[in-house]
């Protein structure tokens, strides 16, 4: 049963994220496996960190492969020789005030508390266990569409620091010793996850080439599945493509919504 549930867990995490991974692990009591669960988590974290690092240089390496036939008319394609439009005076975002930062932090904390309470209430009243991260993501998307909140300055700055903190924490959990303790199983896990990432990479590059998308679009699309919506902001900043932020967040959130369901479907398809 372990390898079947593990397949579902990795399916879920590479569609959604860590919350989806743990949702299946809890349901199938995979956490009782001890070192095997720890090794699976470490393998996932290591390959995620490595792949995000690859995506940061992805456009520079594969731009010619992906954009040999692309034109600026295709969504996501850019013309490097085209003159860049200069921002008009006053168009730049002003520095956030103390009030902006306090309001953003209060909204974030409030949304977190509400999502936790709402998830607990739904589980108790309906028996449906919805991960609180999905509710939090939905609340954040809804709040971002309201005018007064959208006008608050500093959201991008706080989001960037939060994303970097997430990546730092992810790397800190890459304890190689947990893999060594499992011996041959740990090596097989690393090989398994490496194959998953390589197949994913080949698929996204081929799809980007077929659909004539730019390297930046392909990198962000890949990041939303491997790393989730959290890692979209650093990539968008690195590529200087703010137009890809909202699509990336939406795709990452969609992955969070679908990841658990697809993970369960994978387990049952393999034969419970």
Answer for the pair 20, 260: CB distance below 8 angstroms, yes or no: yes
How many whole angstroms separate alpha carbon 150 and alpha carbon 147?
A: 5
* Average pLDDT over every residue of 255-271: 83
Answer for the pair 246, 233: CB distance below 8 angstroms, yes or no: no
How many CB atoms neighbour CB 240 within 10 A? 10
Residue 272: both structure tokens together:
């419970």
Answer for the pair 234, 164: CB distance below 8 angstroms, yes or no: yes
How many whole angstroms separate alpha carbon 270 and alpha carbon 272?
A: 7
How much is the pTM?
0.62
Q: Which residue's structure tokens are 């739904």?
A: 122
Domain ranges of the chain: 97-153
* 64: confidence class by pLDDT, cuts 50, 70, 90: low
Higher pLDDT: 181 or 124? It is 124
CA atoms within 13 A on the CB side of 120: 6
pLDDT at 71 over 50: no
């Amino acid at each position: 049963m372990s390898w079947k549930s593990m397949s579902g867990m990795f399916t879920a995490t590479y569609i959604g994220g860590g919350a989806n991974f743990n949702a299946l692990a809890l349901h199938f009591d995979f956490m009782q496996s001890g070192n095997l669960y720890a090794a699976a988590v470490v393998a996932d974290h290591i390959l995620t960190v490595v792949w995000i690092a690859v995506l940061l240089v992805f456009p520079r390496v594969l731009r010619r492969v992906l954009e040999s036939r692309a034109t600026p008319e295709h969504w996501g394609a850019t013309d490097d020789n085209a003159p860049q439009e200069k921002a008009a005076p006053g168009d730049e975002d002003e520095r956030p005030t103390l009030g902006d930062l306090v309001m953003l932090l209060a909204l974030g904390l409030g949304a977190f508390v509400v999502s936790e309470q709402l998830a607990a209430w739904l589980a108790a009243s309906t028996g449906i266990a919805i991960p609180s991260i999905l509710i939090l993501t939905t609340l954040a998307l809804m709040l971002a569409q309201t005018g007064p909140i959208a006008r608050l300055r500093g959201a991008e700055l706080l989001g960037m620091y939060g994303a970097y903190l997430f990546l730092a924490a992810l790397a800190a959990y890459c304890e190689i010793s947990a893999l060594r303790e499992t011996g041959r199983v740990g090596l097989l896990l690393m090989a398994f996850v490496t194959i998953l990432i390589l197949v994913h990479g080949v698929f996204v590059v081929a799809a980007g080439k077929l659909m004539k998308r730019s390297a930046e679009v392909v990198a962000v699309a890949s990041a939303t599945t491997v790393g989730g919506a959290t890692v979209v902001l650093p990539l968008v900043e690195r590529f200087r493509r703010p137009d890809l932020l909202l699509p990336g967040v939406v795709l990452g959130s969609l992955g969070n919504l679908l990841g658990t369901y697809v993970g369960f479907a994978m387990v049952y398809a393999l034969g419970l």
